[in-house]
Amino acid sequence: MSYYYNKTVSGTFDEVVEKVTAALKEEGFGVLTEIDFSGTLKKKLDVDIPKYRILGACNPNFAYMAYQQENKIGVMLPCNVIVQEVDGNVEVAAVDPVASMQGIGNKELEKVASEVRGKLQTAINAL
């Protein structure tokens, strides 16, 4: 099982970030954090990598459901979605919450993760 799913999306990097944010919103997710990973590496290590942004997406309803099953679930939240330049294209990839939750071993949590997976896949597929 892969730990992510991805899609190449047309548009400029910034346009794709906006499209991803809007698609996530349609599925009930907000972007809580936005990390300019490439900018951070440049600033801290003086290395150049293609544009790479990490979006921390959260659907409050599902986050609460997950919390009710596992009160330490915050170590696995939010769901990360990345936007990155790859060979002149812009790729979007999202974590597979089912894969990341398997190690916890809570069947009820896996049900919630499956629902979140469907919402994230719908958002990515809509791009």
Please answer whether residues 119 and 23 qualify as being in contact, where contact means their C-beta atoms are separated by less than 8 angstroms: no
The CATH number of whichever domain residue 110 belongs to comes to: 3.30.310.70
As for how many domains the chain has, the answer is 1
Mean pLDDT of 18-47: 98
- Cα separation, 100 vs 76, whole angstroms: 8
pLDDT of res. 17: 98
- Specify the DSSP element, H or E, that contains 86: strand 79-86
Domain containing residue 86: 4-125
Report d(CA 121, CA 117) in Å as an integer: 6
Average pLDDT for 41-61: 98
Tens digits of residue pLDDT in 58-108: 999 999 999 999 999 999 999 999 999 999 999 999 999 999 988 898 999
Nearest to 41 by CA among 30, 50, 31, 32: 50
pLDDT one-digit tens code per residue, 106-126? 999 999 999 999 999 999 999
pLDDT of residue 1: 66
CA distance 114 to 61: 14
